[in-house]
Amino acid sequence: MSFLFTVATTLSKELKVEWRSKEIVLSSALFALLVVLLCAFTLDLPTLAGRPVSAGVLWLAVALSGMLALSRTYEREKGFDAFRALLMTPAPKSGVYLGKTLAVCLYLLTVELVLCLVLELFFHEPVLRALPRLLPVLVLGTVGYAAVGTLFSAMQLRTTLKDLLLGVILYPLASPVLISAAKASQIIIDGGSLVDAADPLKLLIVADVLFVVAGLWLFGPLLEE
Amino acid sequence: MSEPITSVRLAGVSKVFGAVRALSPTTLTLGAGEVVAVLGPNGAGKSTLLSVLSLLTRPTSGQVLINERHAVAQDTCRIGLLAHAPLVYPELTARENLRFFGKLHGIDALETVVREAESAMEISEFAADRPARVLSRGQLQRLALARALLHRPNLLLLDEPASGLDASSVTLVGRAVQAVREQGGMAVLVTHEPLIAAQLATRAVILVKGRARVDAASPGDVEAWRKLYFETVGGAS
């Protein structure tokens, strides 16, 4: 059973299920939108003039709504206990992990693109104009967050603590990704180039590599009882 | 793909969940062509025993030996499991579920195998157009059985296989067990129904409070199974 075939099969299944239910993208987008609106109406924007806040709000919304997406991804596995049949196949579990991580990335990137539009509207910062330069940061930040999130969300399948455990473990681990992504996004929305954001981007790339490698390595053992 | 399973041995296997001992040290040997019916009251450890045999649950002590060597994760691909839950994705149709698991099992000529499985379990009529979440309990059970048999397992594990099935559908379970035996495999079925046990099993194991009180050849007809069960369970309670 080839690794790439397992990745493609898992990704295709995840996207098919999401296309039918639209549950993860819709609920995550609505939740993220609520976070943005709360920030837009409670932050005193005129006194913050000249100090970009949209990058922080963007990644705050991604962090919170992302947990919802991660949680729902595994709820599907638990519905009819399908993951047990999955564990009994000879498919490499690292391939299942990568397929799931890529699916979560696609869900979150869709939400982030919607958020960029809303941030431009409510925060009057040039988020859409910066989008071509912002896109690599969004991708890198999302990959890191999804990589660590997909790994630890899998623990939901083996514990009754569920979301509590996920929150306690996920946020401290994902903080280097979220902080670096927010810092790099802030520089870019502020008119800077990717070179200007090199420092946080380097940290982001290192965290991504570490989390993806750890996920590929640990996902299988984590699912075993 | 790992080698075919020709024998399974649980050597002093026990399982403890927190403070609860679900299974006391149990020894059980299964050979090719055998069909073992595991009976027992609720909480006797039947499902735990099945879960240990499926290699999804690691025993607290003891060993699971397959072909007289330690069981490894790859052995699961020779095992078919019909559990309480159907182990399928609710949003996918029956056919999509079978295709998905068939792909992950690396089955050749997948479309043909899927159609054969649908036909054998009589689910062709709704396989393509209804998501699993809207299927009735009996239809789900037949889909679950098709999924469990798709990769032609040598060891078939059935937890309450007749649950939700009407009388005619129960014959599907019998056919499934027979097919596995004909391929040189073996089956373990957990059931509360002495009738099912009498029809299918060659051996009886009766668990009480996590211990195997009986491990003997099939006592014969359904009345003999009932008598053996009530004598064992009644005597223990």
- Going residue by residue through chain B, which has 237 residues, state the pLDDT in tens, using 9 for 90 and above: 578 899 999 999 999 988 888 898 889 999 999 999 999 888 888 999 999 999 989 999 999 999 999 998 889 989 999 998 999 999 999 999 999 999 999 999 999 999 999 999 999 999 999 999 999 988 999 999 999 999 999 999 999 888 777 777 778 888 899 989 988 899 999 988 888 888 889 999 998 888 888 888 888 888 888 888 888 887 554
Q: CB contact, 8 Å: A27 with chain B?
A: no
Structural domains counted in chain B: 1
Position A48 scores a pLDDT of: 63
> B63 — phi, psi (to 5°)?
-135, 145
Report DSSP state, residue B131. B
Domain that holds residue A175: 3-223
Q: CB contact, 8 Å: B121 with chain A?
A: no
Residue B78's CATH number: 3.40.50.300
Angle between helices A23-42 and A54-79 (to 10 degrees): 150
Nearest chain A Cα distance for residue B178, angstroms: 22
Nearest to A177 by CA among A137, A218, A213: A137
Report DSSP state, residue B126. H
Report the distance separating Cα A165 and Cα A70, nearest Å. 13
Nearest chain B Cα distance for residue A224, angstroms: 7
Report the distance separating Cα B26 and Cα B42, nearest Å. 18
Q: Report chain A residues whose CB lies below 8 A from the CB of B133.
A: 79
Instruction: Please give the distance of CA B53 from its chain centroid, rounded to a whole number.
Output: 9
ipTM rounded to 2 decimals: 0.88
Report the distance separating Cα B85 and Cα B132, nearest Å. 12
A224 band by pLDDT with thresholds 50, 70 and 90: confident
Dihedral of the alpha carbons of A121, A125, A126, A130, in degrees to the nearest 10: -110
Q: CB contact, 8 Å: A6 with chain B?
A: yes
Structure tokens at A158: 């083996």
Residues A155-200: tens digit of each pLDDT: 777 666 566 667 788 889 999 999 999 999 999 999 999 999 999 9
Structure tokens at A144: 């890191």
Residues A114-162: tens digit of each pLDDT: 999 999 998 888 899 999 999 999 999 999 999 999 998 887 776 665 6
Domain that holds residue B215: 7-236
Residues B41-58: tens digit of each pLDDT: 888 889 999 999 999 899
Structure tokens at B19: 């403070």
Whether A196 contacts A209, CB under 8 Å? no
CA distances to A37, A45, A65, A127, A172 from A122, rounded to whole Å, are 8, 10, 19, 11, 29
Asked if residue B178 belongs to a domain, the reply is yes
Q: Report chain A residues whose CB lies below 8 A from the CB of B55.
A: 88
Query: Would the CA dihedral through B119, B122, B126, B130 be positive or negative?
Result: negative
B211 has which bridge partners?
Answer: B208
Structural domains counted in chain A: 1
